[in-house]
């Protein structure tokens, strides 16, 4: 070959259009530089800044920073490996991408068969000098797919940092996913049969999250159940539908309680017998049982069904039965919740508008409903038992339960502390409901009719206000606390049982209960700091708080000492 031929070929090579456009090459090289600044610990820190040190250390033991990924858009794969090599990136043979291909297909409504997406990997050293990879997803982009390239460059939806789980033990995989799930939102995933790996994507839900705010968890092998759950959680529309059907779950559980289905299931697991016992249509009952199974209330057993732990609480004959609560929430309170919009607009309870009277007055006028309400209040038995256990009442002699309803809490306190005497103060209809509950300790308990807005007994050493203050607005709470302060002996202690709104996070029963109070009583749940302020305004010092079951808390207060 003469020199003129060599020069001609060199000129032709120099004019060949690079496989990658300059913008994509810059994006790719920035990812390479990023890898050099990261290791496993820094990836975890940047992705989950609120992750505790112990969790970060444990997660780093079971995972490793594997790669950083970027999606690029060559018009052809020809010459791509050579172009990358000129920039120090030696890629292996391309492999088909199933997961990213399917994500793009769904995102842009393009048939997957029209998308040619491959994975190229090149070794790159991380901050610790250990081998990582840059993972290059390359979508061959003919003119009719340029809109995909434009959108993806703008939003960078497929860039991510990846962790591998090693070894891919199912327990470790689930634990790693659960830890990431506590801080990040699921963002899809899939199984790549070409590499026999399940990948789970997560994203930072904060709108201000920095670039590369997506994280990939790579798990060797196929984990279909975990992947299915992750995909469900990744779909906002599906998640919203689950929330929107919450009222259906309430009514289904209430229907089971109304039919006494949990009671009958103890002795009659088969559908024909259940239908006869409940007076229900067999086909419709079968459909209800299927839904209750999905809710975790029952489960299949042989040719019939049996109760789960949740379903057992709906039996009428068990300790801590919540059947009455199901009937209340699926009955009167279910109806009043239909007026929530008006309650939010006006700040006034919807119960009174639905039933024509405040719920206390309405229930007092209906003996059957009043009895059901008091039974539902007794469903907090676990809360009461723990309150009786943690309270130090060794120096007390008389406990006064103010507006104590059916006496469930006072009964447990007196049973746990045989030296105590009790006083239950409430309205006459409530005292009548309390007599059976307090019968075992009747020789140590007095039932006193009264109104806590006017006075409370003056002979107590400890005064209980259990789920009373949340029924009222701040002004009425002040009046109740002022009455207590005025009539309580100076040495006496005030004990308040309430759910506390969290100061920041929202995963607490007090949050939905606050809306319940808005609808049904005109009251509200409060934070500990708000109760502290209310107590202080009435002359009390809050000196101790104990957590109780069912997301409740016990607050102990004393009269402020004069200085």
DSSP characters over 207-252: TTPPSS-EEEEEEES--HHHHHHHHHHH-HHHHHHHHHTHHHHHHH
Q: Which residue has the tokens 């990812």?
A: 31
Distance CA 452, CA 465 (A): 10
Q: How remote is the C-alpha of 403 from its chain's centroid? A: 33
**What letters, b where the CB count within 10 A reaches 16 and e where it falls short, cover 57-67?**
eebbebbbbbb
**Quick one: CA torsion of 328, 264, 317, 499, rounded to 10 degrees?**
-40
**Quick one: the chain helix, strand, coil %, rounded to 5?**
50, 20, 30
Helix residue ranges, H only, 359-509: 359-364, 367-377, 381-390, 408-416, 428-438, 474-487
- Sequence-distant (≥ 6) Cβ neighbours of residue 523 within 8 angstroms: 469, 470, 471, 472, 473, 517
Distance CA 259, CA 415 (A): 34
Question: Quick one: which of 330, 322, 327, 329 has its CA closest to 379?
Answer: 322
CB contact at 8 A, 86 and 13: no
Active site residue 160: no
* Active-site pick, 421, 470, 516, 553: 470
Residue positions annotated with a catalytic role: 470
């Amino acid at each position: 070959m003469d020199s003129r031929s060599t020069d001609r070929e060199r000129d032709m090579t120099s004019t060949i259009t690079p496989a990658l456009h300059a913008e994509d090459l810059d994006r790719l090289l920035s990812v390479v530089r990023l890898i050099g600044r990261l290791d496993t610990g820094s990836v975890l820190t940047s992705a989950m800044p609120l992750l505790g040190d112990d969790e970060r250390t444990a997660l780093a033991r079971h995972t490793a920073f594997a790669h950083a990924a970027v999606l690029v858009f060559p018009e052809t794969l020809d010459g791509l490996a050579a172009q990358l090599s000129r920039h120090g990136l030696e890629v292996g043979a391309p492999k088909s991408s199933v997961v990213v291909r399917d994500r793009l297909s769904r995102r842009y409504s393009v048939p997957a068969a029209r998308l040619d997406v491959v994975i190229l990997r090149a070794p790159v050293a991380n901050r610790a000098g250990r081998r990582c990879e840059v993972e290059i997803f390359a979508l061959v982009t003919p003119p009719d797919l340029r809109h995909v390239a434009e959108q993806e460059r703008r939003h960078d939806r497929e860039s991510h940092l990846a962790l591998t789980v090693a070894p891919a033990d199912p327990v470790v995989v689930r634990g790693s996913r659960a830890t990431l799930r506590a801080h990040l939102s699921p963002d899809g995933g899939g199984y790549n049969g070409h590499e026999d790996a399940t990948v789970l994507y997560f994203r930072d839900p904060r709108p201000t999250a920095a670039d590369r705010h997506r994280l990939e968890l790579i798990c060797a092998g196929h984990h279909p159940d975990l992947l299915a759950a992750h995909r469900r959680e990744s779909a906002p529309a599906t998640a919203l539908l689950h929330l929107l059907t919450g009222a259906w779950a309430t009514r289904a559980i209430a229907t089971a309680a109304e039919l006494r289905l949990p009671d009958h299931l103890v002795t009659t697991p088969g559908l024909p017998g259940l239908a006869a016992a409940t007076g229900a249509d067999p086909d419709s009952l079968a459909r209800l049982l299927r839904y209750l199974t999905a809710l975790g209330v029952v489960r299949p057993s042989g040719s019939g069904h049996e109760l789960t732990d949740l379903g057992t609480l709906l039996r009428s004959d068990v300790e801590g039965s919540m059947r009455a609560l199901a009937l209340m929430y699926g009955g009167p309170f279910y109806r009043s919740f239909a007026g929530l919009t008006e309650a939010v607009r006006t700040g006034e309870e919807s119960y009174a508008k639905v039933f024509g009277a405040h719920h206390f007055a309405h229930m007092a006028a209906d003996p059957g409903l009043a009895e059901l309400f008091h039974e539902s209040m007794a469903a907090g038995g676990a809360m009461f038992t723990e309150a009786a256990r943690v309270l130090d009442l060794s120096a007390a002699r008389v406990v006064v339960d103010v507006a104590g309803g059916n006496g469930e809490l006072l009964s447990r306190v007196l049973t746990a502390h045989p030296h105590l005497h009790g006083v239950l103060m409430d309205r006459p209809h409530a005292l009548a409901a309390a007599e059976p509950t307090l019968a075992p300790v009747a020789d140590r308990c007095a039932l006193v009719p009264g109104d806590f807005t006017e006075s409370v007994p003056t002979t107590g050493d400890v005064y209980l206000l259990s789920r009373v203050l949340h029924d009222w607005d701040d002004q009425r709470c002040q009046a109740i606390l002022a009455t207590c302060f005025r009539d309580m002996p100076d040495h006496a202690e005030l004990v308040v049982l309430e759910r506390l709104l969290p100061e920041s996070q929202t995963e607490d029963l007090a949050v939905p209960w606050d809306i319940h109070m808005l609808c049904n009583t005109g009251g509200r749940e409060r934070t500990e700091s708000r109760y502290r302020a209310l107590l202080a305004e009435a002359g009390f010092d809050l000196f101790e708080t104990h957590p109780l079951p069912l997301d409740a808390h016990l607050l102990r207060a004393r009269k402020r000492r004069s200085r």
